Amino acid sequence: MNQMAEPLVFRFEVDGDNFTSAGQASVQVKKNLRQLGIDPETIRRVSIAMYEGEINMVIHAKGGEASVIVSDECIEIILADKGPGIANIEQAMQEGFSTAPDNVRSLGFGAGMGLPNMKRYTDEMQIDSVVGEGTTITMKVRY
Amino acid sequence: MTINTIKDLLGAEVLCGSEHLENDVHSACGSDMMSDVLAYVKNQAVLLTGLVNAQVIRTAEMMDMMCVVFVRSKRPSSDMIELANECGIAVMTTPMRMYDACGILYSNGLRGNGESDG
């Protein structure tokens, strides 16, 4: 990838009312990163982490805002919602723990793998959450 | 194994991406839970599933997969086909059940490439 003068920022509104469209922003980000010539493994890690996060925002928080910042050192993904917040982050990080409603499981998600997957594919992940106010997740993937 | 061989072994009908049939694939996975696919799959090129919604195609796209096989004669919507076309993913449907479809592909040499956590 060419050196960048300043970081590139992609911003998306994630529609919380429509599960069918969930993941559209991640598909778009994947396209954008390909056009930038970023290596496929990095693209895959970013897009999977963002996709899981996007699905979470639709399931739990009625949508939110996703930003992807591409700089020379890393790709940063910031997912901000005004949902219910996460009461116990440690518990939420355990594989298999889920508070998703049953109907989400019939859609292929809600197995309690979302946050663990996001951590698995990124180099850094920070969760800032206030119950009743919302959650912001910041992830970094280094090249 | 080529995608065309998968089609023949499973008696499948190709719904889109017939231009990709000669592409080689080296591993596959079968699941209805997309988060499990996203967690455990590494370099698998084929997804067999009984789940039918747009998230199946997006999951395959996120994983750089080349082919999605719907089991038990399930058929995706035209929106899903359109999305798969955009992503360059071949889509087919087979009357076989998940267990049989996976077993036939496995016994013909298409392995899961599962790592220890898979």
Per-residue 3-state assignment (H helix, E strand, C coil) for chain A = CCCCCCCEEEEEEEECCCCCCCCHHHHHHHHHHHHCCCCHHHHHHHHHHHHHHHHHHHHHHCEEEEEEEECCCEEEEEEEECCCCCCCHHHHCCCCCCCCCHHHHCCCCCCCCHHHHHHHHCCEEEEEEECCCEEEEEEEEEC
CA A68 to chain centre: 10
The answer to whether the Cβ–Cβ distance between B39 and A108 falls below 8 Å is no
- A76 in a structural domain: yes
Instruction: Taking residues A56-85, report their average pLDDT.
Output: 96
For A17-29, how does the pLDDT look when each residue is reduced to its tens digit (9 = 90+)?
888 899 999 999 9
Q: How does strand B13-16 pair with strand B90-93?
A: antiparallel
- A2 in a structural domain: no
Residue B9 token pair: 């072994």
- B114 in a structural domain: no
Q: What percent of chain B has pLDDT over 90?
A: 87
Does A70 score more than 50 pLDDT?
A: yes
- B113 in a structural domain: no
Domain that holds residue B48: 3-107
- B116 in a structural domain: no
- A3 in a structural domain: no
For B74-96, how does the pLDDT look when each residue is reduced to its tens digit (9 = 90+)?
999 999 999 999 999 999 999 99
Residue B93 token pair: 């449907």
- A61 in a structural domain: yes
The mean pLDDT of chain B is 93
Number of structural domains found in chain B: 1
- B67 in a structural domain: yes
Does A122 score more than 80 pLDDT?
A: yes
Query: Residue B10: which CATH number?
Result: 3.40.1390.20
Gap between the Cα atoms of B37 and B32, Å rounded: 8
Domain that holds residue A64: 8-142
Residue A113's closest chain B neighbor by CA? B35
Number of structural domains found in chain A: 1
What local confidence, expressed as pLDDT, does residue B44 receive? 79
- A73 in a structural domain: yes
- A95 in a structural domain: yes
Nearest-by-Cβ selection for B35 from A26, A44, A113: A113
For B42-59, how does the pLDDT look when each residue is reduced to its tens digit (9 = 90+)?
777 999 999 999 999 999
What local confidence, expressed as pLDDT, does residue A31 receive? 95
Residue with tokens 């778009």: A28
For B107-117, how does the pLDDT look when each residue is reduced to its tens digit (9 = 90+)?
999 998 754 33
The answer to whether the Cβ–Cβ distance between A48 and B33 falls below 8 Å is no
Identify from A109, A118, A141 which residue to disrupt to test chain B contact, counting B C-beta atoms within 10 A and taking the largest count. Answer: A109
The answer to whether the Cβ–Cβ distance between B53 and A107 falls below 8 Å is yes
What local confidence, expressed as pLDDT, does residue A2 receive? 62
- B117 in a structural domain: no
Residue B64's closest chain A neighbor by CA? A44
What local confidence, expressed as pLDDT, does residue A98 receive? 95
The answer to whether the Cβ–Cβ distance between B39 and A21 falls below 8 Å is no
- B62 in a structural domain: yes
Query: Residue A23: which CATH number?
Result: 3.30.565.10
